[in-house]
Structure 1
């Protein structure tokens, strides 16, 4: 398949999150978007091994497209880092804080959705790393979803997503799909690479909390 032919390797994707932070520990949006695209490829690649189609929760692809438009738009200089974007949009009143939908595609709102989904993937990959060999990814994924994204979804979406999780492949298939060697090597890789995602998540979480944006509608 195409991903194998281009040398897909999940370690490269996860470590790419290290490039998301500059020396000031600001989140650089171009590497953030690129790293997210790699995660989307990982999800689709793993599921396609079993002939499955699985839509990434929270419509991540459309959110990435919004951010790419902002990065390529007339105000692109304000969208180089997450910190600059938050300052610009709040200062220019481009963030819908009262559910009026005046700015449904603001960068702050869009990245918050990506941020929440990143937490879900972080929890899932960590549980995959620490789980026993006979663990079921469907259960791990559901537990991670319930601890992260589920709180922001209506019941009908939660139901559809958890049903989709039931079709996920085995833990062995998941680990082998990471393309870094046998399952035990993949587990070791996750332990080395996941802290990069965690650091980006923690910095973003703190920034949004400081500006009272964590519950942005």
Structure 2
């Protein structure tokens, strides 16, 4: 029998970001802070699955997403949220919603790059190259030597691709009923996992572009 009741983070991420992509691609996009923070919260478990190498990213990302979720109770859209910080002259101050938004965007960038690398390296069970390349592309330019060194050391403790899929409940297990002790006789749903990863890559692109434009159109920059 199939283990079909488990939570499926990749599927949820894919669905949420398709909805966000539809919103930002509309003629007059109004992205609610609530919708955005909820979609981003679904990504959080992925950082936890990557182990100690991305522990810093997990802690930072989760904290920033939680801040945006709390802000959603009093702020309607991302645009309104950003405009309030601009008026208060606190955009770059630690703890500002806009600063936290930029950090969350960077996390989305990282996941997009990671999924792209995983898909491109299909057939290789190691995640070291995909994780290293995506880290170098997104996070390294913003980290000091100490964090860079810690990440490099942590890369040795990354899960394998198969282990990652298991942690994300993307393994479909089939059990032998002929033995009193049920044994897994077939597992693996890599094709479906790949579909959800590619879906996130495709859907997150316009979302990330929308966020970049929010910052750049207001001369705030995105490299701080």
How many residues are aligned here?
Answer: 198
Other-structure match for 2:62 = 61
Q: Partners of 2:196 and 2:66 in 1: how far apart? A: 29
Among 78, 94, 98, the residue aligned to 2:90:
94
Is the alpha carbon distance of 1:33 and 1:7 closer, same or farther for their aligned partners in structure 2, counting shifts above 3 Å? same
Where does residue 13 of structure 2 map in the other structure?
A: 13
Matched, 1:114 2:104: yes
Contact 1:15 1:196 in 2 (8 A): no
Distance 2:10 2:122 in 1: 20
Equivalences for 1:30-49 in 2 at 5 Å?
A: 30-44=34-48, 46-47=49-50
Larger Rg: 2
TM-score of the superposition, structure 1-length normalised? 0.79
Q: Could you give the per-residue CA deviations for residues 187-210 of structure 1, whole angstroms, max 9, x where no partner exists?
A: 123223321112211110122111
CA offsets per residue over residues 95-134 of structure 1, 9 Å max, x none? 23xxxxxx32111111011111211111001111221312
Deviating above 6 A after TM superposition, structure 1's stretches of 4 or more consecutive aligned residues are none
Q: Aligned pair in 2 of structure 1 residues 160, 12: CA closer, same or farther (>3 Å)? A: same
Taking the aligned partners of 2:128 and 2:136, their CA distance within structure 1 comes to 12
Given the superposition, is the C-alpha separation of residues 188 and 203 from structure 1 closer, same or farther in structure 2, using an over 3 Å criterion?
same
Check if 1:160 corresponds to 2:150.
Answer: yes
**Shift of residue 41 of structure 1?**
1.6
Give 1:148 deviation, angstroms.
0.7
Gaps of 5+ in 1: 97-102
Q: Which residue of 1 aligns with 2:202?
A: 195
CA contact (8 A) 2:212 2:222 kept: no
Determine if contact 2:114/2:131 at 8 Å carries over to the other structure: yes
* Partner SS state of residue 55, structure 1: helix
Q: Deviations over 1:6-48 (max 9, x none)?
A: 523312122202333364233322122112221112332x35x
TM-score by structure 2 length? 0.77
Between the aligned partners of 1:127 and 1:55, the Cα distance in structure 2 is: 20
